[in-house]
Amino acid sequence: MSRPLPLLVTLCLAACGGPEGLPDTDFPDAVGQSPAAAVAVGGGLKTLAATHGITFGGVAKRSAIDNDASFRTTLTREFNLVTPENELKMKFIQPNRKDEFLWGDADALVNYAQNNGLALHGHTLVWYKVPPWVDSTALGEREAVMKNFITTVATRYKGKVWAWDVVNEVFNDDGSYRNSVWYQAMGTGFIDKAFWTARTADPAAKLVYNDYGIETVNAKSNAVYAMIKGLQAKGVPFDGLAFQMHIKQKGLDYQSFADNMRRFAALGIQLYVSEMDVATDSHPATAADLTAQADVYWNILDRVLQQPAVKAFQLWGVSDKYTWLPENDPLIFDAAYNEKPAYAALEHRLQTGGFSGRYTLVNKRTGKALHVAGSAQTNAAAVVQYDVHEDWAAQQWSFNYVGGRSYQLLNHHSALALKVKEGSTLEGAVLEQYSPDVSMDSEQWELIYAGNGYHALRNKRSQRLMVAFPGDNNTPVQQYSPYVPTAEFTDSQLWTLRRVP
């Protein structure tokens, strides 16, 4: 059919409502509303995350809030949860002696969160890093010191904290208990006592154990698993486990991460990503470093959103301007508060809802499905549109994320990938299926959410959209530039993704 010349305009993007089966939230009313609900206005990643029942958090220090307007703007625009970086730690509140508490910095952070609609993650009540005076305290006095700190701090901020990191970093990497001042005095019993004391002081807050290096199934996470089961067997109040998630750009074993979350979720507890950052290999980071970093962020968030027990996704910072890893550019905003590829990766995963399982792609204009002609299982078979039969394997596609916000679309019947024929970049080029090869950009497709449940699919090589014009069954599916001269052609470029049961 004839068509007018394309007008090179961009499809409007909007936030989607997320995938089916979103988890219900059940946060305590710590700030007048649940953290995930504290996003009625303002946009940002927090709003997208809330559609998945996830609270999106960052870390702040008082000096940044007091002195950096860009930091304040970015924090309140993008996040609905904040963790004080140091201000609630014993070394900062009680640095000199047991009868002196310094509240200025902590009060400032708590008040800022309250006044700006941010839920507060209290970090941390019990840690092995303590002020020097605690090290010199007699063993028999340390339990009283610990309980006094927990009670005093948690009572002061009672009802203002969504979740407390009650105990932090108990284990060595091999799964043995760290020989902390608390362990020396009370053995493993200090953990039970800490959680009981926190529950008494702040009954509504979630009580959490927080640690690093426990993201995958390993000796350390096995020790944490055994500890939690032990706490539960004794009836100790325990609500959640936080994975710190300090990762290098090479990433980690994502399947092991998913398996690990699954076994902890089976204990009936909530899960959190509490301190995520991704250290690049060089500084300043190269383009390749930033792409690899973005893929790590995407992959972690992807597994998180597939696990309903996860209730929060928090970064250990906001901008590379303030980070404990200044030589590794680990966050999603650079030092000038520009969005990095990692920001786009998180935004993309939250917008699209992610794609696990199989889908039938149905064109908005024609109502027909993306289909392999003749249900062929051979290379170069044409990809066409056909009446919808969601039970036909030739109409079922899975999405393999290949990085850079792009996917391979793999046909369930043939196991071959959707591709522009001969890698063409021309208008009107037809589509086919071919052997999967992640190095071929003609097999890579970016999904653009266009609102109301519709997506456009843009080929990475040609930068043209997949389109289905009105026609009979077996009409070829083609690629064309984005343009909006008529409603007919707009609709022809949009697809719904129907999840196969």
CATH 2.80.10.50 fits 358-499, yes or no: yes
Q: With the C-alpha atoms ordered 74, 51, 344, 242, is the resulting torsion angle positive or negative? A: positive
| Distance from C-alpha of 113 to C-alpha of 136, rounded to nearest angstrom | 35
pLDDT of residue 356: 67
- Same CATH topology for 35-352 and 358-499? no
**What are the distances in angstroms from CA 363 to CA 404, 496, 497?**
25, 7, 9
Structure pTM?
Answer: 0.72
CB atoms under 10 Å from CB of 436, counted, come to 18
Q: Which of 78, 85, 275, 432 is labelled catalytic?
A: 275
Selecting among 169, 432, 443, 446, the annotated active-site residue is 169
The SS3 of residue 110 is: helix
- In the three-class reduction of DSSP (H, G, I as helix; E, B as strand; rest coil), residue 35 is classed as helix
Q: Which helix (H) or strand (E) holds 107?
A: helix 104-115
Largest CA distance in the chain: 88
- In whole angstroms, give the CA distance from residue 240 to residue 57: 16
169 is catalytic: yes
Beta partners for 165? Answer: 123, 208
pLDDT of residue 324: 96
Report phi then psi at 361, rounded to 5. -100, 120
Measured over the CA atoms of residue 324, residue 327, residue 331 and residue 335, the dihedral's sign is positive
Alpha-carbon gap, residue 501 to 499, rounded angstroms: 6
C-beta neighbour count of 255 within 10 angstroms: 11
Strands (E) in 367-411, as ranges, are 369-372, 383-386, 397-403, 406-411
Which residue from 78, 86, 153 is spatially nearest to 118, judged by alpha carbons?
Answer: 78
Q: Which positions of the chain have pLDDT values less than 50? A: 1-42, 485-489
**In 294-339, beta strands by DSSP E:** 310-315
Distances (CA, A) of 159 to 30, 107, 167, 197, 345: 5, 14, 19, 15, 34
DSSP 378: S
Residue 441 Cα to chain centre, angstroms: 26
- Centre a 10 Å sphere on the Cβ of residue 210 and count the other Cβ atoms it contains: 25
Cβ distance 481 to 464 under 8 Å? yes
Q: Which tokens go with 40? A: 């009625």
Residue located via tokens 């589509």? 431
Backbone angles phi and psi of 299, in degrees to 5: -65, -40
* CATH architecture under which domain 35-352 falls: Alpha-Beta Barrel (3.20)
The closest of 416, 427, 430, 418 to 471, measured between CA atoms, is 430
Going by C-alpha positions, the residue among 464, 472, 393, 388 that lies closest to residue 430 is 464
Two structure tokens written together for 178:
């760290």
pLDDT of residue 352: 67
| Residue 297 one-letter amino acid | Y
Return the structure tokens found at 48: 């997208």
d(CA 124, CA 150): 9
Kindly report the number of other CB atoms within 10 A of residue 496's CB atom: 16
10 Å Cβ neighbour count for 326? 12
Distance CA(81)–CA(93), nearest Å, equals: 21
pLDDT of res. 480: 92
**What pLDDT, on a 0 to 100 scale, did the predictor assign at position 354?**
61
Structure-token pair, residue 384: 């066409």
Predicted confidence at residue 380, as pLDDT, reads 97
- Pairwise CA distance, residues 347 & 363, whole Å: 25
The answer to whether residue 275 is catalytic is: yes
Report the pLDDT value the prediction gives residue 38, as an integer from 0 to 100: 32
Q: What is the structure's pLDDT at 406?
A: 83
- The letter for the amino acid at 327 is E
Q: What are phi and psi of 108, to 5 degrees?
A: -60, -45
In angstroms, the CA 261 to CA 373 distance is: 41
Secondary structure, 3-state, 280-304 = CCCCCCCHHHHHHHHHHHHHHHHHH
377 φ/ψ angles, rounded to the nearest 5 degrees: -120, 25
Domain locations in the chain as residue ranges: 35-352, 358-499
User: What is the C-alpha separation between 463 and 18, in angstroms, rounded?
Assistant: 25
**pLDDT at position 339, please?**
93
3-state secondary structure of 44: helix
Residue 353: the pLDDT is: 61
Summarised one tens digit per residue, pLDDT across range 145-184 is 999 999 999 999 999 999 999 999 999 999 999 999 999 9
CA angle 7–11–14, rounded 5-degree value: 165
